[in-house]
Chains A and B, each alone.
Chain A
């Protein structure tokens, strides 16, 4: 895993053996780029790269690619998230080239939340490719220098390719085989779903390590601090594929309302500290949803600051 395939800083940091740190910015529901720039600048020095979500929860937003470009122009390394829900293979390949033309060096391939969660419930979904096939597509374009149709690409995209994994979705027994498939498709890094059930996550990564999968990809553990007990309950009950143990809810409920956010951050820091020691964990993906200002504190308190210079 040592040779570099791209100019991605994230790739360099992970391949140098450091724990990587990424975070995310959700583009605004409007055309004001200042919002995304402000979020990016808040976390710039505390993370190696910033994921830019692609119409997350199927709510229409500024395009991920445009927001990535805004960040890139500020010297922030983006991870372009791309879902297969909204674009067919022509549009996907075209956007990959568009991203590469701005030297956006990282991509995360996803299927995307179903449109029924968002603001266009009556819309079509595309799903011409699935997320694994999108990983294959980016790798093919990069490594073979070709379009899916077989023609040569002038200046192929140099993109470090990632995929998501949810250690908590069902059925649990295929979660590791599914990870193996994503790696077989060419996923070079994995960012996981938010982890609250530490024991279950450890079991998942142990099984992955036993199969040698953590030698083949970099697994970045997904972390989202809870703002309140209400958020914890919402995540547990309403967000698909989320596993929030009752003790997390009880712990948040056990402190006064005005201290719950602080407690949420503390839980997040403790989880990072615990997982730093777990074999197979290569870094952390800190998704502080509309709470980007907390990322510097989390990174510092978790002992992940300063970020390595590579």
Chain B
């Protein structure tokens, strides 16, 4: 799923300072699961903003709403009837949701309430870690199911580099060396002979390097 992190409240206050009627818009998908932008976080942010402005003696309307998804026309349409009630929307969806809402409501200021971090997994309670960078050309079959693009700080295709120590990456003792994990997996799979196959130079044109990406499926188009 998409992992996001709440923006510092001071930053959000700065962004909404000049608006009087604000909608805090949550999303019921990934950001709910990673506890950054679901219904609960909408409530917390709205309360914090109310208290802040109340303490300053300023009156503002701060409403709350959470949609099923913000990356889908159908759900974003649900707020069309109420849109004129607001001067700005703080979206707690990922960057996709914020943009999709902005495209739909052309004259409405759309402010992000979270920082979108990565594509990751919920590794433990309160711990989300990156697993994929959407390079557009998956090589996991060759690397024991562990991704060197997203999990190696140098995205080394033929690793590990010389900085791997005790299973950790040279950038931090808190980061696993992806290539240590790959080697461990290849060993477990009894496929160490695969380690010596040289990974070819990667075609990055399917990555962000190739420009904004799109998937078109004629077979599912209406």
Q: A interface vs B, CB < 8 Å?
A: 84-85, 89, 111-114, 116-117, 125, 127-133, 136-137, 148, 164-166, 169-171, 173-174, 177-178, 180-181, 184-185, 193, 240-241
Contact = CB atoms under 8 A, between A and B. Distances in A.
A133 B158 contact: yes
Nearest to B196: A177
Interface string B156-199: 11111111111100110000010010011000000010011011
Nearest to A164: B162
B75 interface: no
B53 interface: no
Given A130-B156, A170-B164, 18 more contacts: A114-B153, A114-B154, A128-B204, A130-B155, A130-B158, A132-B157, A136-B198, A164-B162, A165-B162, A169-B160, A169-B161, A170-B160, A170-B166, A170-B177, A171-B160, A177-B192, A178-B158, A181-B198
B141 interface: no
Contact of B161 (A111, A171, A181): A111
Contacts of B159: 130
Given A111-B154, A111-B156, A169 B163 contact: yes
Interface of B: 153-167, 170-171, 177, 180, 183-184, 192, 195-196, 198-201, 204
Contact of A170 (B154, B157, B167, B196): B167
Contacts of B167: 170-171
A241 B158 contact: no
Contacts of A177: 192, 195-196
Interface of B is mostly: loop
Given A85-B154, A241-B162, A129 B201 contact: yes
B201 A136 contact: yes
Q: Which of A114, A125, A148, A193 has the most CB of B within 10 A?
A: A114
A171 B164 contact: yes
B99 to A, nearest CB: 22
B183 to A, nearest CB: 5
A125 B154 contact: yes
Given A125-B154, A181-B158, A185-B198, A114 B204 contact: no
A193 B177 CA distance: 19
B164 to A, nearest CB: 5
A133 B157 contact: yes
